[in-house]
Structure 1
Amino acid sequence: MKKIIILLAAVFLLAACGQNETKQENSGESTEVHPLEVNLKVPDHANIHEKVSLTAEVSYGGEAVEDADEVKFEIWKEGEKEESKMIEAKHEKDGQYTIEHTFDENGVFFVQSHVTAKNQHNMPKKQIVIGELHKGGASTGENEETANHTHEHSQGSVDIQLELPTNVKANAETLIQTKIQAENAPLLNANVRYEIWKDGSDKHDWVDAAGDEKGTYEAKYTFSSSGTYQIQVHVNNDEGLHEHVTKKVTVQK
């Protein structure tokens, strides 16, 4: 009788273990993470006092994002970033967030959308020329990429330096560094991520960077093939800082 009881107990125990393993396998299914995509639509030129429509098309994994946490447009005249205006966008449909804005003077202006959704932040920027400068030739934009391997970007008292090795090789691990200072002191405990994509490709890779006590944020990345890539470092913190810097890099075979 005791043998029968022990045998039945063993059967129930094995069945319970099987069910537990199945539950663990099901609960371990991971959700694929996609980059937050923002298509910023800004006309190249407009007339002074003309009402201009500015739109950010937001998508995630190929699907329109209808419930973004925040979408705002920052607008400023060239050389006057400190006097920028921040305007909250209205959700229209199909992941489109729009504002209408009237520029009250001629010149070169910049429009940057600040989009937060799916626990990500994306801030594309475009230029618009208002009035007469359209014919005379406009600026090519702020913070143009150069051949230097150190790119500097400043907003007020924040300085961001994105650094890469001199020679970057395909299929070799590459160290990416960003040095960040605020008020002439290292910026600590920031959220720093690298967005990396090859020119002409829709695939964007995201890499989290780790920071140290000197305000240096590092990550390692392996480029799968040679060609021209874009690296955009996204910097934000709990105090409302939202900045990014983009650098072009040529990857050798």
Structure 2
Amino acid sequence: MIPKYLKVGFWLVCIFTLIACGSNNQVDEGDGELLSLDVEFELPEQAEVGETVELKATVTYGNEMVTDADEVVFEHWLTGNEDDSTMLESTNHEDGTYTAKVTFEEDGVYEIYAHTTARDLHTMPKKSITVGDGQAESNNVSEHDHNHHAEGFVIHLMELNEVKLAEEVDFVVHLQMNEVPFENATVRYEIWNTENEDERKWIDASETKAGEYTGAHTFDEAGAYTINIHVKDDENLHEHQDFTFEVVK
């Protein structure tokens, strides 16, 4: 007969062995690793007026090529005229690359975002291109240029479709610091009719994705409006930026 203390010892060894095996199965290489959505945005530094330019984004998530991004859209504008930007849908080549073609019809320096949404994340690397002699930069400086941000910080309001009277509209804002989604910020929208600046509405925005903040509002009066986006965090950051839009009947 096997002594009782040997039986107890045998079962203790078995239990510890099972625990050790279970722990090894849970700690796979790379387990718990935070993956990031990265976009390699390829754009020539210069082009000629009338030349067709290819915009190319290569999208990865960790070591994985993202072949099914929710959205890759290129937004471009002549420097100083961000309010007059143009959005270009991309072609998905199903190998992690997304492209679009654009032709610039006048000299100037153009800014371009590669808006990319995938894996519930959004990123928007920005590059610039000089077209022709680059001297035709507009003198109509937009309100964006009067909002100076901390280095590397970006506030971007997604393009609004037609804003109609008495219909709820979602204001979607993306925040980035050094091309990384800026999370856990306190974001508020201050909105007013430009003909009645003393009457202002405040809307609290919620973070719906990493670095993406959404707030909704319904307008009861048509006209020209301004939205000032206020951003704060726990590290004494306080940024704001104005955008203008129209509410139609």
Give the CA deviation at 1:4.
4.6
Indicate the SS of the match to 2:19: helix
Question: TM-score, with normalisation over the residues of structure 2?
Answer: 0.51
The reply on whether 1:187 has 2:205 as its aligned counterpart is yes
Deviations 1:71-104 (CA, angstroms, capped at 9, x unpaired)? 51322323254653241232375x4332222345
Q: C-alpha separation between the residues in 1 aligned to 2:7 and 2:137?
A: 84
Indicate the SS of the match to 1:11: helix
Q: C-alpha separation between the residues in 2 aligned to 1:143 and 1:92?
A: 37
Deviations 1:125-144 (CA, angstroms, capped at 9, x unpaired)? 1223445xx34264799759
Aligned to 2:166: none
Q: C-alpha separation between the residues in 1 aligned to 2:22 and 2:115?
A: 40
Q: C-alpha separation between the residues in 1 aligned to 2:174 and 2:98?
A: 29
Count of aligned pairs: 184
1:87 pairs, out of 86, 89, 110, with 89
Q: C-alpha separation between the residues in 1 aligned to 2:128 and 2:70?
A: 22
Q: Is the 8 A contact 2:75 2:115 kept in 1?
A: no
Aligned to 1:99: 100
Q: Which amino acid aligns with 2:65?
A: V
Give the CA deviation at 1:112.
1.1
After TM superposition, the structure 1 = structure 2 runs for residues 1-253 of structure 1, keeping only pairs within 5 Å, are: 4=3, 7-8=6-7, 11-12=10-11, 14-29=13-28, 30-59=31-60, 63=63, 65-78=65-78, 79-81=81-83, 84-91=86-93, 95-104=96-105, 107-117=108-118, 120-131=121-132, 134-136=133-135, 138=137, 146=148, 153=155, 155=157, 178-182=185-189, 184-193=202-211, 218=233
Alignment RMSD: 4.6
Give the CA deviation at 1:11.
1.9
Paired-residue identity, %: 21
Give the CA deviation at 1:120.
3.7
Question: TM-score, with normalisation over the residues of structure 1?
Answer: 0.51
Q: C-alpha separation between the residues in 2 aligned to 1:192 and 1:119?
A: 8
Give the CA deviation at 1:20.
2.9
Indicate the SS of the match to 2:206: coil
Give the CA deviation at 1:117.
4.3
Give the CA deviation at 1:23.
1.3
Q: C-alpha separation between the residues in 2 aligned to 1:218 and 1:47?
A: 43
Q: Is the 8 A contact 1:160 1:179 kept in 2?
A: no
Q: C-alpha separation between the residues in 2 aligned to 1:67 and 1:188?
A: 29
Q: Which amino acid aligns with 2:7?
A: L
Give 5+ residue unaligned stretches, structure 2: 161-170, 178-182, 192-201, 212-229, 240-249
Give 5+ residue unaligned stretches, structure 1: 164-175, 194-214, 221-230, 234-253
Give the CA deviation at 1:41.
1.6
Q: C-alpha separation between the residues in 2 aligned to 1:43 and 1:144?
A: 28
